[in-house]
A and B are shown apart, each in its own frame.
Chain A
Amino acid sequence: MKAHGLRVTAPPAWDVRIFRRTADVATVERTFPIVHAANFPLPARRGDYGSGAVEIMGPTNVMVALVEHDPSAAATALFSNRGMPRVHADDFSPRALQRTLRGQSGVQYFFNEAGRAFCLYIVLGSHARRRRLVEEASRLVASMAIQ
């Protein structure tokens, strides 16, 4: 599937959403595309970093969020890493979560590609099973393309 200059080829059994929230016209805020992908049914209401979904994850589940930032951020120190990151099981930590839920594990990468700034955030349902789950997450990440 393709939307907002992002392409994801969902592996079997994955639920993928690409969306961009409507900006609040009362302010000067800006919104950018977000990808949510999970190997379980994503709930309709989700936070940008997966709250609402992470709470219903089982130990075999994986959730991936690709959150775009303002392109001007691509030139900053935080987003200075270039290209879609390679995901390693050793990068995961039970603390690297927006919401630390028992058993889960997460990782976060900031990077830039094609002049756009992104944060890749992955949540695994089980830290103990991270080696196997990372393979699933990696397949999804490998299928993501930024245009």
Chain B
Amino acid sequence: MTSPTERLATAASTVLSRRLSRRGFFARAAVVGSAVTANGLDYILHPGTAYASVCGSGNTCSSGWTAMCCTINHGVNQCPPGTFAGGWWKAEGANLCGGSARYYVDCQAECSHCGCPGGSHFCPEHCWDCKPHCAHHGTCDERRVCHNVFRYGQCELDRKCGGPVVCRAISCTPPWRWANCTTTAATDNFTVSHSAPCLPGWSHIQKRYTELGSQSSVLGTTVGREHVTEHGHTQHYEHGRMYWSRHTGAHYLDGSVLHHYLHLHQASSVLGLPVTDVETTRDKHGKRARFQHGGIYHQHGGETHALWGAIWHRWRDLDGTAGPLGYPTTEIRPLHQDQGDFARFTGGSLYRPKGRSPYLLLGEIAAKYHQLGAETSPVGLPTADQHPAVDAKGVAGTELLCAAGAITRITGRPQAHGVWGPIYTTWNDQGRAGGELGFPVTDVTDVTLPDGPGQQCTFEYGVATYDQTTGEVTVRTG
């Protein structure tokens, strides 16, 4: 017979012995107490695992593992000069690769000063190009460099002789896709957390990079880890950069488009963050990338320029690079005396007077406008797109109306011509090309009349002369 108290005690002890040993409880309490005593707030606020989580397990020199290449190779996650890929292994279920396998490539030192004796696969230390040391580069990756004489043996199989492992390159993409390695898998799950501050963690950018093929992609290998700015996240690569924000997603830039974006100060520029990768243009003659507020366009063998705002929108409405304007040959530039802005293209120009829409100028009309001095020319700023015109006899052409003149071109003729000043006023009053004079066949030119200076313009069906002394415009037809 047992008493109720005894039964209670026995029940309590059974539960407790199942859940928690007394020794275990006090041992844990003592450990925590010691840690708090020794490091106080630092322990509570900065638990050791936080630091360890950056470099993972076995990150000290004495742990016997080899350092990451990025730690000793200026942040570049690849075999440094003087080394070659000697073999690879994988660790499964890696958080650093989104739960998939993570791959490690050993970079072996080359035997530059001598070879391997007999049937050996490793050369003596005096042949190495490196000296064994610990990676003390101010980071938690203090693993060994040029120390472990070991080879996994699936890469560069034509190299029988090699030196020690200098460092390890990491990837979420199998090495046979980006290095000269076989598909023979080796596994070591104990290395799954091995990392360094210069290696990217798993992120939207890293996920996209992995989908692109990691080192086998156009971007090459990573250089350092992701940067976080007020605009978004950025990852540097050997041949490009990738940008991510919640609103724009992850997109990469490379080549001249990236170079131009860097020149414009990246996301802090008017363009914002990229919303596409660098892509081939529809006409396949160039590259482009679109951004939140604009785009950067490169024509093969030509220039690279950025467009944004109203002019960019108008250009895109006109079919962009595949449309009549073609590729930009300038950035968006301000007009003289802050009258608006403009951009020039391989096929013409867009001019946007302040507070108005951008107006379209194409081909010879645009060329004449620029020749005359554009917005500082006597015709002034355009007031409309260029548009078709027909004279009284049915001859077709194009005209661009401006604030103080016009530029016209008869279809099929090589040149356009400008009309401005009092002659333009008279011609305009007569119905421009549709009037008795028809299209101009010269520009307005200065002339010397019997009673003083004047201007003259020849048209299809007559000549208009302006006498500056009298202020009269005389029209002769026929």
Contact = CB atoms under 8 A, between A and B. Distances in A.
A and B touch in the complex (CB under 8 A): yes
Interface of A: 21, 23-24, 26-32, 45, 47-49, 51-52, 67, 69-70, 72-73, 76-81, 85, 93, 95-102, 106, 108-110, 119
Contacts, number: 115
Contact of A67 (B58, B62, B100, B186): B186
B168 to A, nearest CB: 12
Given A93-B149, A100-B148, A81 B187 contact: no
A96 B122 contact: yes
B107 to A, nearest CB: 15
B185 A95 contact: no
Contact of B184 (A69, A96, A109): A69
B378 interface: no
Q: Could you tell me the dominant secondary structure of chain B's interface residues?
A: loop
Interface of B: 58, 62-65, 89, 92, 100-101, 119, 121-122, 132, 144, 147-154, 156-160, 164, 174, 176, 182-191
In this complex, which of B122, B147, B159, B184 has the most chain A Cβ atoms within 10 angstroms of its Cβ? B184
B156 to A, nearest CB: 8
In this complex, which of B119, B174, B187 has the most chain A Cβ atoms within 10 angstroms of its Cβ? B187
Contacts of A73: 153-154, 157, 182, 184
A23 B186 CA distance: 10
Contact of A100 (B89, B119, B144): B144
A47 B190 contact: yes
Contacts of A32: 184
B188 A27 contact: no
A48 B191 contact: no
Nearest to B164: A95
Given A73-B157, A78-B121, A97 B148 contact: yes
B153 A119 contact: yes
A79 B150 contact: no
Q: Could you tell me the dominant secondary structure of chain A's interface residues?
A: loop
Contacts of B152: 49
A51 B217 CA distance: 32
In this complex, which of B64, B119, B147 has the most chain A Cβ atoms within 10 angstroms of its Cβ? B64
A79 B157 contact: yes
B164 A48 contact: no
Contacts of A106: 150
B322 to A, nearest CB: 39
A110 B157 CA distance: 11
A73 B101 CA distance: 24
B116 to A, nearest CB: 11
A76 B158 contact: yes
Nearest to A85: B119
Contact of A95 (B63, B149, B187, B190): B149
Contacts of B132: 95
In this complex, which of A23, A47, A73 has the most chain B Cβ atoms within 10 angstroms of its Cβ? A47
In this complex, which of A70, A99, A102 has the most chain B Cβ atoms within 10 angstroms of its Cβ? A99
Contacts of A49: 150, 152, 186, 188
Contact of A76 (B157, B188, B189, B191): B157
Contact of B147 (A24, A52, A79, A95): A95
Given A77-B157, A77-B159, A99-B65, A70 B184 contact: yes
